[in-house]
Amino acid sequence: MNYYKVVISGLFAAMCLSANPAMAQAEPDTIPLEDDQFLNNFYEALTQKGIGNYDRAITFLEKCLKQQPNNAVLYHEMGKNLLAQRNYPRAYEAFEKATKLDPTNMWYYVGMYDVAYETKDFNRAITIVTKLIDFKVEYKEDLTALYMSTQQYDKALDLINELNETVGKRDMRELYKAQILQDAKYQGPEKKNLLDQIAKNPKDESNYLALILMYSESNQEEKALEIAKKLEKAIPESEFAQIGLFKFHVNNNDGEKAVASMKRVLASKTIDRKIKHRVLNEFLIFSQGKPQYAAEVENSIKYFDNDPVDVSKEVAKFYSNTGDWPNVVKYYEQHLKENSDDYKSVFLLMEAYSHTGEFDKMLKTSADMIDLFPAQPQMYYYNGLANNQLQQYKKALAVLDEGYFYVVNNPQLEINFLIQLGEAANGLGDQKKKETYFIKAEKLLKQFKK
């Protein structure tokens, strides 16, 4: 619910209708004194509304209306009770009648807006909010949301830009704007708006950044670089300019300059960590097959020491996807120094060891993990695999036999165990057991493939 609806629910003002119009309008709930019967009926209506007896409140208000059929306050009270009952058509009529009797009171229009908002009649709500803006310009925030709800994105974008310039940016408006700009047809006008804003406010970094992003996403790299250079010239100390310059240097295969820009971005205390992660990821892609940048990758991770995301682990995942197993080993080992109980990462490290042939490391690490997680069959499997590769067949057979007991509802792992058990038996010269394990693995594999 919007801001004003929260305010409305809490108002109970004791101001007379003749209050100074220059003062902030209070929601009307008092009327000029009349005879005792009228006054009793009116306050009884307020009492009944206060305890949720809306039917009785309406009955007392109807008695009041017989005496004062042109009293706007009564229609406003009637509307509030009908709205509480969710009798939306009659509530709207009551609020609308109040506005016709007294078009100068904001709260009567608010009542109409409440009905339109609750019934999701956003087009009608737009008409009402346009009037409410004459009372309070803050309602332009509501109008922005209503334009979004009715997909009037051109009007929403114009209003967002107006509010950004007059009252400053707000997160919700920026989200709306990002949604609108996903459609390419709105990007042209927005680029022009951003250029205008840069000309008006050359020290506002945000406009440069938004424009750099738009040019980059539409593959207009030269224009993105042009804006990044403008930013660097206008604000020489700007760290944000380095984001655009980094991307340009990467695209130009200029590693030395890319590293320099990346370092400034990663060292920044103002640039969002998500942007830093993106820059590092782009550098990882750039550095693939370029061992001269290995040290820069390792040094860049140090900038994320206090980051909630373990960057070493994310870098290991990246290299795993590219099949760079030595780096997978390096960065999983680095991650596990501080996170030794992350057994899922240990599994991935074991897999990397199998690719790099580091079976001595696999043996030691898996043995340590069996002590920590004695019911994890994967660790027994890797320990058995390592022992087999190191020709320690008797140890392999023992540990594989023990770990096989823990395999439940995992056909692929069971097949892997049987193969390694067969390898251990073969190493010990027991051909009969070897055949037994391999035949069982083959049968299970056929079932698994069905």
pLDDT in tens, 125-142: 999 999 999 999 999 999
- Taking every pair of Cα atoms in the chain, the longest distance, rounded to a whole number of angstroms, is 113
Q: Is the pLDDT of residue 73 over 50?
A: yes
Residues 6+ apart with CB under 8 A from 326: 356
**What span, in angstroms and rounded, lies between the C-alpha atoms of 273 and 417?**
43
Q: Is the pLDDT of residue 187 over 80?
A: yes
Out of 135, 167, 192, pick the residue that ends a domain: 135
Domain of 385, CATH number, reads 1.25.40.10
Categorize the per-residue pLDDT at 10 as very low, low, confident or very high, splitting at 50, 70 and 90.
very low
Q: Which residue has the higher pLDDT, 3 or 274?
A: 274
Q: Is the pLDDT of residue 4 over 80?
A: no
Q: Which residue has the higher pLDDT, 30 or 412?
A: 412
**393 CA to centre of own chain:** 52
Given a contact cutoff of 8 angstroms between Cβ atoms, the answer to whether 60 and 44 are in contact is: yes
Give me the pLDDT at residue 13, please.
Answer: 32
Q: Which residue has the higher pLDDT, 236 or 117?
A: 117
Categorize the per-residue pLDDT at 27 as very low, low, confident or very high, splitting at 50, 70 and 90.
low
Q: Is the pLDDT of residue 264 over 50?
A: yes
Q: Which residue has the higher pLDDT, 343 or 117?
A: 117
Mean pLDDT of the chain: 87
Q: Is the pLDDT of residue 31 over 60?
A: no
Is 14 part of a structural domain of the chain?
Answer: yes
Out of 116, 135, 154, pick the residue that ends a domain: 135
Is 213 part of a structural domain of the chain?
Answer: no
Q: Is the pLDDT of residue 22 over 80?
A: no
Strands (E), 91-226: none
Is 282 part of a structural domain of the chain?
Answer: no
Domain hosting residue 102, numbered range:
1-135
139, exposed or middle or buried, with CB in 10 Å at 0-12, 13-18, 19+? buried
Convert the pLDDT of each residue in 292-323 to its tens digit.
998 998 888 888 887 777 889 889 998 898 88
Residue 415: CA count within 13 A, CB half-sphere: 12
Is 24 part of a structural domain of the chain?
Answer: yes
Q: Total structural domains in the chain?
A: 2
Give me the pLDDT at residue 386, please.
Answer: 96
Give me the pLDDT at residue 374, please.
Answer: 85
Is 238 part of a structural domain of the chain?
Answer: no
Phi, psi of 339 (to 5 degrees): -135, 60
Out of 67, 102, 135, pick the residue that ends a domain: 135
Categorize the per-residue pLDDT at 18 as very low, low, confident or very high, splitting at 50, 70 and 90.
very low
**What span, in angstroms and rounded, lies between the C-alpha atoms of 254 and 313?**
27
Q: For residue 276, what are the CA distances in angstroms to 224, 255, 263, 269, 300? A: 18, 17, 10, 11, 10
Q: For the whole model, what pTM was predicted?
A: 0.54
Given a contact cutoff of 8 angstroms between Cβ atoms, the answer to whether 283 and 297 are in contact is: yes
DSSP assignment string, 331-384: HHHHHHHH-TT-HHHHHHHHHHHHHHT-HHHHHHHHHHHHHH-TT-HHHHHHHH
Q: Is the pLDDT of residue 254 over 70?
A: yes
